[in-house]
Structure 1
Amino acid sequence: MSDPSPTRRGGRLRRACDLCQQKKIRCDNGKPECENCRLSGYHCTVTRRSPPIRSNTKERLAEAKSRIRELEELIIAQKDLQIPCHGDGSASSFGSLSSGYLEDPHDVGTTLAMFQMHIALCGVGAAGSAERYSFCSLIHQRTGCDFDVDRFLQGLPNASGIPNSRDPGKTTSQKWPSQLLVQTCIHQFVKTGLYSVFPIANVEVLQTLLNQHILDHKTQRAHIADLACLIAFTALVTELHRLEPAFSDTDPDCYLRAALSLLPRLLMEAANLRTLETFTIIVTYLLPIGHTRTADSLLAVAVRILYSLGGNRYSVIREAEGGHLRAIFWHCYSLDKELAIRFGRPPLINDIDCDLRLPDNYISSWSHDHFFHRPLSSRILLYTSDLRLALIKSKIYALLYSDHGRAQPEARRLQYIRELDEELNDLKSSFPASCWPDVFATGDAPDYTFHDLSLRGVNLHLEYYFCLGKIHGASNAYSLTSPHSWSFLPSSAELFYQESRTMLLYISRIRQFLNWHTYWIHAQFILTAVVSLFRYLITSPKAHTFIRDLEILENTAETFSDLDRESRATRRFAPFFFTSCFTRKLIFLAKQSLRQASGG
């Protein structure tokens, strides 16, 4: 062989030739060539290879310590959020942000879960609950049909034909807004007077923070609340003004996910007013897109911070940013009381612990600004709903739906119902006569009456009817399991069912306000009215209003069928289809009750 002989066992060099190694066969190390090479006719060679470098234990330990130091430095860098500022369209790495999960509000599976939650709150009850059993038992008794609500709802996605295009990456993608975009949002917020409706961000302070370039990764580590507040604020403004040319290329959901990813660290820091603003802004963003339970949980955090900062006391207005803190208090108060009567849960804010004097710059009740489009001014507070209505909602829950209220004698509860009905009517009477809900909620109301109506005006009308239904609906044994216990006092029964009719008639007249951006705001109002009127139909199939009430339900189903067809031109929104199908199913069951009552 041409190379030195390989080693043999016992410490001597021994190595197979190249051919034997390639074929993975035993080499006899013969000289000048091994037997395998000789028989194959190959030149026998042995390629010398450098022995592996073996480090001793001390060297390996030093290498491990060095690697640990590198990893520690990387973790510190992540915690310091040294993230390059980038434009909206860039795809910069967000490795230093924890995952901010936010489900796609258009995903079929997500919207079905939201729809099921709302159905459960509308008199149908959750799966396995006594209320669900009562609902299904009543249907079986009155129609002879078995209605498995969950099975029916689970079949709707397939029936819709909408592909389930859930993209895991889309639910976690985040974007860090640019300095220019945040500046544009501040300018838009001031120019449009949005503080009047959403007094949840002090733009003067935000402008100061932006001028300090806290979004710039080259600056010193900033307070997390300052960063989170700027990002959440950007998400909300770009969502509210998504149709503005300046925001056409923005992605509000991605900005919100970036803000959500900061919440774990935000909770670990000492809370201040920016912390409160961050949580309040996120709650305000989540509620209209259907993430109601998540928003409710985050609202609980905001309320705790609100108490710790003294926002429940009127005297706080004498402190720095005290007036702004009180403005946030009333925003949270209004949201809390709304969710309390929707969910039937105890409110987070206890009235007895709060000074409930309305803000001095709150708009007067007789103003048309509550209902019609008017230029907004940041000097006057309008809010998303009437604060006086929020106070009534608080009383509705406390007196009629709390454990204490339910335990009261029937005579006392009926007294509360009369008093609350009178108080709600007094509030309605304080509005300009041309703005009363009754003016709009008729089938023959002229179209021009709806021309200048604002979304806030629509919400106020629907909230009024919802509260009216909650007041008079409390006079029945709503929580009892027996289907025979669905009984009212005659006056309350008439008002309750009339409220359901009126609500649905009103819905049929405001189609221009119904879209995927507003659906979840109104969903519980609509579905509650549908279920309530359906109950009346199957329990009173011989009533003289049966045909008219059935037509109201059919018109409601057709309204959402039309909305579903129209949404196909852009991006189809599954809850329109769900609402139409659910309503049509109830119509079918109502007709069955009529046949059974007629002996057919």
Structure 2
Amino acid sequence: MSRVTLLADVQLLQIIALEPYLIDRGDLLREAQYTYLRRVEEAPMEPRRPRKACDLCYTRRIKCDRQEPRCSNCVTYAVDCTHTAVSRKKKHKAQRDSGAEGTEDIQSLQAKVQRLETELAQLRGQAWVGNQAQKLRKTTTTAQVEDGRAEDPDHTRGLLTLPPLQQGMAMVGVFLNTLNSVLPLFHADTLLRLVGECYALHPRQRDPVIWAAINVVFALANQQVPKEIRDGVSSHQSDETTEYLNKAQSVISDIILGEARLINVQTLVGMVMVLQTAHNLKPSLILISATMRLVHQLGLHNHVASSHLDPVQRRQHTRVFWLAYILDKDLSLRAQQPSFQLDDDIDVELPSSWPMTTDDNDNTAGIVVTVDRTARMNYFLARVKLAKIEGHIYDCLYSTRALNQSLEERRTARENMTTAIYEWQASIPPEFGAAVVILNTRDKPEHKGFFFVLHSSSLQCMTLINRAHAWDGQWVSGLRDHSRGIQPLKLPPG
């Protein structure tokens, strides 16, 4: 074979040598193997012809006169005149003509080899990235175990386990009689049906979203039950709450990225309810953003999206929206960050306590009654109205647009917000005022926590409205006069 052919075969052998890395490129590998074998089999065998020149003349490339017994050159150099050296192969005309074609073949094979080397480098890079990712996962898992935040091993094995049925139903009862009675996240009958169906299934057959929703219910129930009195301070079952919350968060991708259903939004709202009590608001802020996106995807903020549902389902959609709205506005003001829901983009009715059907037993959700049954209050509706005020406070006093307003515009906005707070406080029945609510609801000790949140939120609003600012001329002049001893310091108008 010619030098061109041998060089091409070298390139083919390089391709074949990459076989372990070309599992997905079998077509190119087979082509290279076939080409190489065909060239070997079809290589022409040149016939050996007797040479006229002797070995000396042939080696030194000089003309041989072929004298016998020795040519003149052999006589001159005093060597034997022999004819045993191997002759050089002569390139045939056909091979010379195919030189250009061989060059093209080499260039084509070189391009293929270069392309394969590039793909091989990419495969090696991907393998390196995969190894690093695996190491990172191992490191993260180890850190979570050391920090006490390891993922639930049952879920890792695909088992969506639940506590014993008796224990689970007890926690569901606590949830329905405490938190859900004033902030109706679930329709009671619907929740009991979901719990029963989930317990009836094998752990591997359970719907991960429903399983997460039940764990969120367990976490919220544990928050409502005091664990014990230690050193005179009541501590809640934070360990159990965290355990159930971690289980629900282990399937967070199914909740957010799966099929959009009302149960998905209810689960996320429940998670935010658990997380909002922490000092670090970042987790709850992230979850409320995903929650509001699902709310908008389902159209819970518009009555048209639920107009085809029966009255009970339609009311539950409305309740879930307003719960998400409360959390959105409350977290927005606490974190001094914009909320997600625009008030101008809401077209649903406010929470109502009127029965939807003759056999409706869920119409009292959100209603709180005094111990003597002489006064009642729609706690849920009061929270919604306060959330609206919280949203207006941020928009009118702390948003970027508000910070660019004139001093007179900001003063007017502050006065309007103060008036709104006063009107809201006046709408609260006196039996449920901050001074007497614990006494008037002593038959429901769990309600004192809800009213504490209600009244402390209103005080927070008043504080944020009336706190001193450099742009408040009245406050600045009053502080200046007080520091100079001209007049006593005046308290804020709220």
The bucket for the TM-score relative to the shorter chain is 0.5 to 0.7
Shift of 1:304: 0.8
Task: Name the counterpart of 1:456.
Answer: 450
User: Which of the residues 402, 405, 408 maps onto 1:408?
Assistant: 405
- The answer as to 2:299 corresponding to 1:310 is yes
Task: Name the counterpart of 1:466.
Answer: 460
Which consecutive unaligned segments of at least 5 residues does structure 1 have? 1-60, 62-97, 103-166, 441-446, 477-485, 495-535, 550-600
Task: Name the counterpart of 1:82.
Answer: none
CA distance 1:465–1:193, change in 2 (3 Å): closer
Q: Deviations over 1:381-403 (max 9, x none)?
A: 63396221111111111222222
- The answer as to 2:337 corresponding to 1:350 is no
Shift of 1:187: 2.8
Whether the 8 Å contact between 2:318 and 2:348 is mirrored in structure 1 is: no
CA distance 1:300–1:173, change in 2 (3 Å): same
Residues in 1 aligned to 2:147 and 2:431: alpha-carbon distance in whole angstroms: 50
User: Which of the residues 459, 472, 478 maps onto 1:488?
Assistant: 472
Task: Name the counterpart of 2:106.
Answer: none
- The answer as to 2:163 corresponding to 1:178 is yes
Q: Deviations over 1:434-473 (max 9, x none)?
A: 6555x68xxxxxx989988822222222222211122233
CA distance 1:360–1:472, change in 2 (3 Å): same
Shift of 1:543: 8.4
Shift of 1:295: 0.8
The one-letter amino acid paired with 1:228 is: A
- The answer as to 2:277 corresponding to 1:273 is no
- The answer as to 2:286 corresponding to 1:297 is yes
Moved >6 Å (runs of 4+): 98-102, 247-250, 368-375, 447-453, 491-494, 543-546
User: Which of the residues 328, 339, 344 maps onto 2:320?
Assistant: 328
Task: Name the counterpart of 1:420.
Answer: 417
Residues in 1 aligned to 2:244 and 2:464: alpha-carbon distance in whole angstroms: 37
The one-letter amino acid paired with 1:271 is: A
The one-letter amino acid paired with 2:473 is: L
Whether the 8 Å contact between 1:362 and 1:382 is mirrored in structure 2 is: no
CA distance 1:234–1:330, change in 2 (3 Å): same
User: Which of the residues 200, 208, 224 maps onto 1:240?
Assistant: 224
Shift of 1:431: 2.5
- The answer as to 2:332 corresponding to 1:340 is yes
Residues in 2 aligned to 1:456 and 1:235: alpha-carbon distance in whole angstroms: 17
Residues in 1 aligned to 2:247 and 2:421: alpha-carbon distance in whole angstroms: 42
Shift of 1:357: 3.0
User: What TM-score does the superposition give when structure 1 sets the normalisation length?
Assistant: 0.46
User: What TM-score does the superposition give when structure 2 sets the normalisation length?
Assistant: 0.55
Shift of 1:414: 1.8
Shift of 1:541: 8.6
Q: Deviations over 1:274-318 (max 9, x none)?
A: 111111111111111334210111011111111111110234265
CA distance 1:338–1:301, change in 2 (3 Å): same
Task: Name the counterpart of 1:567.
Answer: none
Q: How does 1:429-444 map to 2 (within 5 A)?
A: 429-433=426-430, 435-436=432-433
Task: Name the counterpart of 1:188.
Answer: 174
Q: Deviations over 1:489-548 (max 9, x none)?
A: 327998xxxxxxxxxxxxxxxxxxxxxxxxxxxxxxxxxxxxxxxxx79x94958778x9
Whether the 8 Å contact between 2:213 and 2:263 is mirrored in structure 1 is: yes
The one-letter amino acid paired with 1:319 is: L
- Computing the radius of gyration from Cα coordinates, the structure with the larger value is 2
DSSP 3-state at the match of 1:386: helix
Shift of 1:205: 2.8
DSSP 3-state at the match of 2:269: helix
User: Which of the residues 309, 312, 332 maps onto 1:319?
Assistant: 309
Shift of 1:243: 3.9
Whether the 8 Å contact between 2:329 and 2:387 is mirrored in structure 1 is: yes
* Identical counterparts, % of pairs: 19
DSSP 3-state at the match of 1:383: helix
Task: Name the counterpart of 2:193.
Answer: 208
Kindly indicate whether structure 1 or structure 2 has the higher relative contact order, using CA contacts under 8 Å at least 6 residues apart: 1
Give me the CA root mean square deviation. 4.5
